[in-house]
Structure 1
Amino acid sequence: MKNIVNAWNRVSLIAKIAIGIVIGAGLGILVPQATGIGLIGTMFVRALKAIAPILVFVLVISSIANAGKGNGKQFRMITFMYILSTMLAAVVAVSANFLFPVTMTLDIESYQSEVVPSGIVEVLQNILMNITDNPLRAMLDANYICILAWAVLFGLAMRSAGKGVKESLISISDAVSRVVRWIIGCAPFGIMGLVFTTVSESGLSIFKEYGKLLLVLVGAMLTVALIVDPLLASLFLKKNAYPLAFRCLRESGVTAFFTRSSAANIPVNMSLCKRLGLDPDIYSVSIPLGATINMDGAAITITIMALSVANTMGVAVDIPTAFMLSLMATLGACGASGVAGGSLLLIPMACSLFGIPQDISMQAVAVGMIIGVVQDSLETAINSSGDVLFAATAEYCQWQKEGKQFKIGAIVNPDED
């Protein structure tokens, strides 16, 4: 048994996850009634969601309390790349719709409409209200905008604290980080359970009725993940950023694909940033910020789904209107919830730009729920991998200015036991 455990420990995490995917898919086909296997995946996601708010709160306070000066420029660059990438994703989605217009059958029972924002003003108002929410409730609800805001305030307040207090904060953050590594170590089994649930419940039936819509969505998302985002990072670095982009997709995107939650993937992304040798004072803030405002996949989903409803209703969409939709989708995506399906409830807001009534646009939300097993999974994968991609790009730019020698996308700190 000891030899088996040692052999398992020598295998890389990505290889273990690949094994879990294969086993989970096989079990989903052979024994779909074995629901206990899916429970493992549910427990894994719940554990990630439970530790992520604590991790963000503790790390941000510790980082700011112990940080030196001069990090503001990197934060501005990261934020700019997050928003620019989301905007470009919306433009790609508009272009995809013009090239491959899609319609849908709007005959599905509507969801309750009172939970849907009426417009971008309400979305922005909700963001401001969330920032000033009770921090304890924010921890329970995983309200990361509020968690970040309060953690920054506490961190700034503790910059004047004594050395012993600051060292205690570092010890606490190290302990929480170790718990995170233990949870991430269970990823192969958690992913196996999530794949089992997906295969046993959905199979391939969703591709029959909504195949074209899925192809357009997936095509736009892959274009952003494999072309737009790496090129954007390459422009900032003036070097080939594809090795970094592929590492982020492989080590962050794969896990996010199955957890379907940017919030749940925050611990995974922070672990990857540490392995890349990035500054924890930077990524402890930029990664949870990215889970809130870096929403390429959400912008694509909102844009294509809204335009599909417009095509179905026979609404002519011109270039200026499409540009306005891109701006609205970008702002709306930044306010989307970091949980599974969080972007879907913003589709009616985008449809309102075309004067489409909410009782019709809500039917598109229902369609989104049906295809979400693919759409939402891939959306979360490109959102989450982009968080690390741009956080690393900003720090690499700083390393270039300092004359530091490094290899883009190379692992500096291997996983700790």
Structure 2
Amino acid sequence: MTASSPSLWLRLKRLSLVTQIIIGLIAGIALALFAPEVAKSTAFIGKVFVSALKAVAPILVFVLVMASIANHKHGQETHIRPILFLYLLGTFAAAVVAVVASTLFPSSLVLATQDVAVTAPGGISEVLQSLLLSVVDNPVSALMNANFIGILAWAIGMGVAIRHAGDTTREVLGDLSNGVTLIVRLVIRFAPLGIFGLVASTLATSGFGALIGYVHLLAVLLGCMLFVALVMNPVIVFWKLRRNPYPLVIMCLRESGITAFFTRSSAANIPVNLELSKRLGLHEDTYSVSIPLGATINMAGAAITITVLTLAAVHTLGIAVDVPTAILLSVVAAICACGASGVAGGSLLLIPLACSLFGIPSEIAMQVVAVGFIIGVLQDSAETALNSSTDVLFTAAACLGEEQKAERLA
């Protein structure tokens, strides 16, 4: 028994995070089915995981956004500007698609703290006032109270200021960013155990009807991502090139999206996108900058995840959403997506920022994040596939569009 235990442990360690999460999910369901009383006692494990997420999320947003802006370098004369426009347009359009889909097919979640008092905003003016007060919050207070809007504002301001600092300062900030990312990855490694506790205790307490909500939520998420990949992105590419966009769209999905689906990392898929850009004959000085940049800020899938899960919490709590607030949510979700972490499930940690627009407490928002991890086996893979394939798609569209423009002028 002593000899076999390490072997079993090593085999579990060698499994991918996706496989471990699936095992945790299945084990949680099985425990809730066959030993519901025991399953209820696993709620503590889920609470520890949620608490760890709450602890790491504020510093993650602050450091990563600040480091990303501070270490951004100006490139030589390239087609970066139109590519950046397409990145931002695509991310915002994805958030709008998610708002419409969530309105047409609202999702409800099973949350343990639905009895927490929630003050719904009276309208867009109240939301904007709250937003402005959050922006000018003290940075220490923002970090302590998980005021993600204030954290984001200070991170952007500090990042812009540090861009003018010496190389050593920016290198230190980059090292700090890597250190925070390492800690986040460590927390994420415990996701299978946390999900086991959350699923087992939730199903044992609320019944297996909670699974229906997860299936519906996942269907809305994946449906939005497929719509953006096969309808919205082709429309944007057609607007840029004025020709059939689908050969280029399908090529990017096939050669970039599939690998990104399994690696679940836009950063890990950068070499694949660079090679694809080279084979497409794109300008090297352009794609060598736009592809790594896109892996950081071009996050249509993340915008969809943030928006859908936020509106699921809003619908669950019975908060009304008017059109101006929905538009503001789309803008905030697009901005949040641009600051999403490069680690698996990074976009989920930015959901509390969007939830704060509706006065949803951090306790509830982090439970929504935990729900995101439960469905994250497919959600994060599909999100990364959409994000990464869109990097090379919009780079190619901008480069080919500028070449067509130059030919017409010539």
Query: Which letter does structure 2 place at the counterpart of 1:335?
Result: G
272-281 vs 305-314, greater mean Cα deviation? 272-281
Determine whether 1:138 maps to 2:174: yes
Contact kept? 1:116, 1:348, Cα under 8 Å: no
Q: 2:325 aligns with which of 318, 321, 327?
A: 321
Partner of 2:249: 245
Aligned residues: 290
Q: How far does residue 361 in structure 1 lie from its aligned partner after superposition?
A: 1.1
Q: Render the CA deviation track for 1:273-306: whole Å, top value 9, x for unaligned.
A: 1121111110111111111211101111111101
Q: Aligned to 2:397, which of 393, 397, 410?
A: 393
Corresponding residue for 2:284? 280
Q: Secondary structure at the match of 2:152?
A: helix
1:346 to 313, 336, 350: 350
Q: Matched residues in 1 for 2:400 and 2:80: separation?
A: 13
**In the aligned structure 2, how far is the partner of 1:317 from the partner of 1:342?**
26
| Deviation readout 1:330-369 (Å, 9 max, x if unpaired) | 1111111122111111111111111111111110011011
Gaps of 5+ in 1: 1-30, 43-59, 144-196, 405-417
Aligned pairs for 1:104-123 (under 5 A) are 104-107=109-112, 118-123=147-152
- Work out whether residues 124 and 335 of structure 1, in 8 Å CA contact, stay in contact via their aligned partners in 2: no
Residue pair 1:303, 1:325 contacting (<8 A) in 2 also? yes
Any conservation in 1 of the 2:348–2:372 contact (CA below 8 Å)?
A: yes
Alignment-derived partner of residue 87 in structure 2: 82
Q: Per-residue deviation at 1:225?
A: 0.8
Q: Taking structure 1 as reference, are residues 122 and 39 closer, same or farther at Cα in structure 2, changes over 3 Å only?
A: closer
Pair 313,246 (structure 1): closer, same or farther in 2 beyond 3 Å:
same
User: What residue in structure 1 maps to residue 240 of structure 2?
Assistant: 236
Question: CA 1:116–1:383 in structure 2 vs 1: closer, same or farther (change >3 Å)?
Answer: farther
Residue in structure 1 matching 2:107, options 99, 102, 127? 102
In the TM superposition, 1:7-406 aligns within 5 A as 35=12, 38=15, 69=77, 71=78, 74-107=79-112, 118-129=147-158, 132=162, 134-135=170-171, 138=174, 141=177, 210-403=214-407
Once residues 348 and 86 of structure 2 are traced to their aligned partners in structure 1, the CA distance between those partners, rounded to angstroms, is: 24
What SS does structure 1 have at the residue aligned with 2:407?
A: coil
Measure how far apart 1:139 and its partner are: 6.0
Give the 3 Å change call, closer, same or farther, for CA 142–232 of structure 1 in structure 2. farther
Deviations 1:123-173 (A, max 9, x none): 243245456363266268459xxxxxxxxxxxxxxxxxxxxxxxxxxxxxx
Tell me, yes or no, if the aligned pair for 2:18 and 2:377 is still in contact at 8 Å. no
Question: Cα 1:358–1:285, aligned 2, differ >3 Å: closer, same or farther?
Answer: same
User: How far apart, in 1, do the equivalents of 2:296 and 2:18 lie?
Assistant: 24
**Separation in 1, partners of 2:280, 2:9:** 39
- Alpha-carbon spacing, 1:352–1:39, altered in 2? closer, same or farther (3 Å): closer
1:28-56 Cα distance to aligned partner (Å, 9 max, x none): xxx999558637999xxxxxxxxxxxxxx
What runs of 5+ residues in structure 2 fail to find an aligned partner? 1-7, 20-71, 115-141, 163-168, 180-191, 200-207
Per-residue deviation at 1:260? 1.4
Distance change (3 Å), C-alpha of 1:337 and 1:116: farther
In structure 1, what is the Cα distance between the partners aligned to 2:321 and 2:17? Answer: 46
| TM-fit CA distance, 1:121 | 3.9
Structure 1 residues 391 and 32: CA distance shift in structure 2, 3 A: farther
The structure-2 alpha-carbon separation of the partners of 1:102 and 1:116, relative to structure 1 and needing over 3 Å to count, comes to: farther
- Kept in 2, the 8 Å contact 1:120–1:328? The answer is no
Contact 1:117 1:123 (C-alpha < 8 Å) held by counterparts:
no
Structure 1 residues 200-259: Cα deviation after superposition (integer angstroms, max 9, x where no partner): x99xx9976610000000001111011101110111101111111111111111111111
One-letter identity of the residue aligned with 2:235: L
Instruction: Tell me: CA distance 1:275–1:36, structure 2 relative to 1, closer, same or farther (3 Å).
Output: farther
Equivalent residue letter for 1:356: I
Given that 1:292 and 1:335 are in contact with CA atoms closer than 8 Å, whether structure 2 keeps it comes out as: yes
Quick check: 2:109–2:213 contact (8 Å CA) kept in 1? no
- 2:143–2:151: 8 Å Cα contact kept in structure 1? no
**How far off its partner does 1:263 sit?**
1.6
Q: Distance in 1 between matches of 2:262 and 2:10?
A: 20
Identity %: 52
CA RMSD, aligned part only? 3.4
CA–CA distance in 1 between the matches of 2:302 and 2:291? 17
Partners of 1:92 and 1:220 within 8 A in 2: yes
